[in-house]
Amino acid sequence: MAIQESRLDVGGGVELFVARHVVDQPKGLIMIVHGLCEHSGRYHEVAARFNAFGYTVYRFDNRGHGRSGGERGYVNDFNEFIDDAEKVVARAKQENPGLPVFMLGHSMGGFIAASHGVKYPGRLSGQILSGAASGIQPMLAGLEGVDFSAKAREPIANALVDLVSRDPQVVSAYRNDPLNLKEFSTQLMSEVLIRGARWLMNHYAAYTYPCLVLHGGADQIVTPETSKIFYEKIASTDKELKIYDGLFHEILNEPEKDIVLEDIHRWLEKRI
């Protein structure tokens, strides 16, 4: 496995950090889109497993996160995240002509991935969604229509760390990771988790990708019902839903992660 790091200019003075985990003669390519407040480096072990399965992996830090540029924990418009992901897809396809490309999005990254599927159809061979924030969460439902412009840069604490995994070592590593954000802006919350989520909900019928929808049954950050509704409403004919009983939000960082990875592996192999 070789890891190659680079920067990608996405315009507006913002560069994204991109890492490639490359294998010889790959079966396909998997692009990982991380969640809110975290960064793509947390998926190093996941990338290594996909490499072992025979896939080259691209991972990148969303703007305002990790080693990418942009104001920390801030986004002007939720479409910026989606358009950034497409720019990484374009680079990956240019660098790997003819390879099938799959996108794996976790949490907010699942929102980005699913929204990319709506906005840029036909670009990928399929998507895997993990604990995807593909709809408005119950705790935020009453905030639709609220004008947050005067509070755009007010910080919201990243206060759900204990709920990411049942593994205390994962929680400790998350809390002590200097690249994880300790807070994010009210603007990002309103754009992605409310306005963007509503946009995606209004466009479920335009989502047609082959997809594997995965969720922890004990997820207290994004409700499992979110993925169930997404699965039921989308227009995809090739779709699979799996809820893992008892697992928390980061199913790829739970004690049962090997089961999850093998499920993804089996799904991919049937679509190569």
Catalytically active residues are 107, 219, 249
CB neighbour list of residue 271: distance below 8 Å, 6 or more residues apart: 100, 102, 125, 126, 210, 238
Beta strand 101-106 pairing with 126-130? parallel
CA-wise closest residue to 251 among 239, 262, 238 = 262
Distance in angstroms (rounded) separating the CA atoms of residues 86 and 207: 16
